[in-house]
């Protein structure tokens, strides 16, 4: 594959290195001359000094035949706009953008970026899975369906302990998939299933109903 990487900082450098090792043809665009020279000395003549938002620069490096365009600078506006240029001017099929401010992720998605990646959110998800007391853990994001697979742990002091599921006010659009407890085997939750202390419940939810789901399952 021919891949263009915009931004030769730490992320861009190591990404380019990994992609080259996998046998891809890679060109990295970097604004800073000294940094461009550093990348050239480390990885060979695949670094070009230039602005990933300049149409003439992108044309010079053959953006029209690129299979993938990855923008990983430290500025969200530069990542967004360069990907949009790649997509609309050069018809690159897959655009990947680093999202520095996590709140920009939905904007990137709305404005046509194929793969927006927020490193802050990625790190946060890994932390959640390792903190045993975290009330809600993200297991998987189903981006196309705009749904999330989450795990909710029921603490012993939760007000929902002892109640059947039919008594819980589950938010619309959420589905309980599996219930795993110390007293019962993993099973499909039914309206009559009683919530027990230390239960783990796997559920499917739209991202915006996450907090409501957590409250419904754990009580206040």
Partner 1 sequence: MGCGRVGAKLAEMLDKEGNKVTVLDVDEYSFRRLPSDFGGTPLVGNGTDQEALKKAGISETDVFLTLTQGDNRNIMAAQIAKHIFKVPRVICRIYDSKRKELFGSLGLETISPTTIFAEILKDNIKGKN
Cα-only R_g, the chain: 23
CA atoms of 177 and 204, how far apart (whole Å): 7
Helix pair angle (10-21, 33-43), 10° resolution: 30
Q: How far is the CB of 8 from partner 1 (least distance, A)?
A: 18
If binding is defined by CB under 8 A, does position 76 make contact with partner 1?
yes
Smaller CB separation from partner 1, 110 or 145: 110
If binding is defined by CB under 8 A, does position 88 make contact with partner 1?
yes
If binding is defined by CB under 8 A, does position 6 make contact with partner 1?
no
If binding is defined by CB under 8 A, does position 199 make contact with partner 1?
no
Stretch that binds partner 1, among 20-28, 60-68, 85-93, 174-182 (CB under 8 A): 85-93
| 69 close to 41: Cβ distance less than 8 angstroms | no
If binding is defined by CB under 8 A, does position 208 make contact with partner 1?
no
Stretch that binds partner 1, among 39-47, 73-81, 197-205, 209-217 (CB under 8 A): 73-81
Q: How far is the CB of 77 from partner 1 (least distance, A)?
A: 4
If binding is defined by CB under 8 A, does position 105 make contact with partner 1?
no
CA atoms of 24 and 8, how far apart (whole Å): 17
If binding is defined by CB under 8 A, does position 85 make contact with partner 1?
yes
Smaller CB separation from partner 1, 108 or 165: 108
Residues 130-159 interacting with partner 1 (rule: CB under 8 A): none
Stretch that binds partner 1, among 3-11, 26-34, 84-92, 143-151 (CB under 8 A): 84-92
Nearest residue to 187 via CA among 206, 202, 170? 202
Nearest residue to 193 via CA among 220, 173, 217? 217
Q: How far is the CB of 107 from partner 1 (least distance, A)?
A: 6
Smaller CB separation from partner 1, 112 or 162: 112
- Binding site residues, partner 1, CB under 8 A: 53-56, 75-78, 80-82, 84-85, 88-89, 101, 103-104, 107, 110-111
């Amino acid at each position: 594959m021919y891949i263009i990487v915009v931004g030769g900082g730490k992320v861009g450098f190591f990404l380019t290195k990994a992609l080259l090792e996998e046998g891809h043809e890679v060109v990295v665009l970097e604004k800073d001359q000294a940094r461009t020279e550093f990348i050239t000395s480390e990885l060979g003549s695949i670094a070009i000094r230039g602005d990933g938002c300049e149409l003439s620069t992108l044309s010079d490096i053959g953006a029209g035949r690129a299979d993938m365009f990855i923008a990983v600078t430290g500025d969200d506006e530069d990542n967004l706009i360069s990907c949009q240029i790649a997509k609309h001017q050069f018809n690159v099929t897959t655009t990947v953008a680093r999202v520095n401010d996590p709140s920009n992720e939905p904007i990137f998605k709305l404005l046509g970026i194929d793969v927006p990646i927020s490193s802050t959110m990625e790190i946060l998800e890994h932390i959640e899975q390792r903190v045993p007391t975290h009330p809600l853990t993200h297991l998987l994001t189903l981006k196309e369906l705009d749904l999330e697979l989450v795990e909710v742990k029921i603490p012993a002091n939760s007000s929902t302990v002892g109640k059947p599921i039919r008594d819980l006010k589950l938010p619309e659009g959420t589905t309980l998939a599996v219930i795993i407890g110390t007293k019962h085997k993993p099973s499909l939750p039914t309206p009559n299933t009683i919530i027990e202390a230390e239960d783990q419940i796997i559920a499917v939810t739209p991202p915006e109903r996450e907090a409501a789901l957590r409250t419904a399952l754990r009580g206040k």
